[in-house]
Chain A
Amino acid sequence: MRAYLSVWKLRFINGMQYRTAAVAGIATQLFFGLIFIMVYVAFYGQGSSHTNFPLPDLVSYVWLQQIFLSFIMLWFRDNEIFALITGGNIAYELCRPCGLYPFWFAKLVGQRLSSAVLRCFPILIIVFFLPQPYRLSPPPSPAAFALFVLALLIGLVLVVSVSMLIYISVFWTLSPTGSTLMISVAGEFFAGMVIPVPLMPVWLQRVSDFLPFRWSADFPFRVYSGQIPASDALWGIAAQLAWIAVVVGFGQWSMRRALRQVVVQGG
Chain B
Amino acid sequence: MITLQGIGKSFKVARRAAGLRQAAKSLFVREHTVVEALRDITFQVGEGEIVGYIGPNGAGKSTSIKVMSGILVPDAGTCSIMGFTPWKERTAYVRNIGVVFGQRSQLWWDVPVLDSFQLLRDIYKIPAAEYAGQLALLTETLELGSLLQTPVRQLSLGQRMRCEIAASLLHSPRVLFLDEPTIGLDAVSKQAVRQFIRTINREKGVTVILTTHDMSDIEALASRILLIGKGTLLYDGTLSQLRGRFGSHRTVTAHYSENARPPEIPGAQTISWSPERAVFSVDTGQLPIADVLARLSGQVELLDVEIEAKPVEELIIELYKEHRI
Contacts and interface: CB of A to CB of B under 8 A. Distances in A.
B95 interface: yes
**Interface size classification for chain B:** 20 to 34
B121 to A, nearest CB: 8
Contacts of B69: 91, 94-95
Contacts of B91: 97-99
Given A91-B71, A260-B73, A267 B123 contact: no
Contacts of B70: 94-95
A97 B92 contact: yes
Interface string A60-99: 0000000000000000000000000001110110111111
B218 to A, nearest CB: 19
A96 B121 CA distance: 11
Given A98-B91, A99-B91, A263-B11, A6 B123 contact: yes
A99 B66 CA distance: 18
Interface in A233-267: 260-264, 266-267
Interface string A212-235: 000000000000000000000000
B108 A14 contact: yes
A100 B101 CA distance: 19
Contact of B125 (A2, A7, A91, A261): A2
B66 A91 contact: yes
A14 B66 contact: no
Given A13-B111, A14-B111, A92 B122 contact: no
Contacts of A7: 119, 122-123
Contacts of B62: 267
A266 B95 CA distance: 24
B103 A5 contact: no
Contacts of B121: 6
A97 B124 contact: yes
A96 B98 CA distance: 9
A43 B125 CA distance: 58
B322 to A, nearest CB: 25
A17 interface: yes
**Interface size classification for chain A:** 20 to 34
Contacts of A260: 73
Nearest to A96: B123
Contacts of B195: none
Contact of B118 (A6, A96, A263): A6
A266 B103 contact: yes
Given A3-B123, A10-B111, A13-B111, A94 B118 contact: no
B99 A95 contact: yes
B131 to A, nearest CB: 13
Given A6-B119, A14-B108, A95-B71, A267 B92 contact: no
A148 to B, nearest CB: 32
A88 B115 contact: no
A132 to B, nearest CB: 42
B90 interface: yes
Contacts of A91: 66, 69, 71, 99, 101, 104
B108 A10 contact: yes
Interface in B86-136: 90-92, 94-95, 97, 99, 101, 103-106, 108, 110-111, 115-116, 118-119, 121-125
A92 B11 contact: no
B309 interface: no
Contact of B71 (A6, A10, A264, A267): A264
A92 B11 CA distance: 21
Contacts of A87: 104
Given A2-B122, A10-B119, A94-B71, A264 B92 contact: no
Contacts of A3: 119, 122-123, 125
A92 B99 contact: yes
Nearest to B71: A94
B72 interface: yes
B87 to A, nearest CB: 9
Given A7-B122, A96-B94, A260-B73, 6 more contacts: A2-B125, A3-B119, A5-B122, A6-B121, A92-B105, A95-B70
30 contacts: A3-B123, A3-B125, A6-B118, A6-B119, A6-B122, A7-B119, A7-B123, A10-B111, A10-B115, A14-B111, A89-B105, A91-B71, A91-B104, A92-B101, A92-B104, A95-B70, A95-B71, A96-B94, A96-B123, A96-B124, A97-B92, A97-B94, A97-B95, A97-B123, A98-B91, A99-B91, A263-B11, A264-B66, A264-B72, A266-B103
Interface of B: 11, 57-58, 62, 66, 69-73, 90-92, 94-95, 97, 99, 101, 103-106, 108, 110-111, 115-116, 118-119, 121-125
The 6 A-B pairs at the shortest CB distance, nearest first, are namely A6-B122, A92-B106, A3-B123, A97-B95, A94-B71, A95-B99
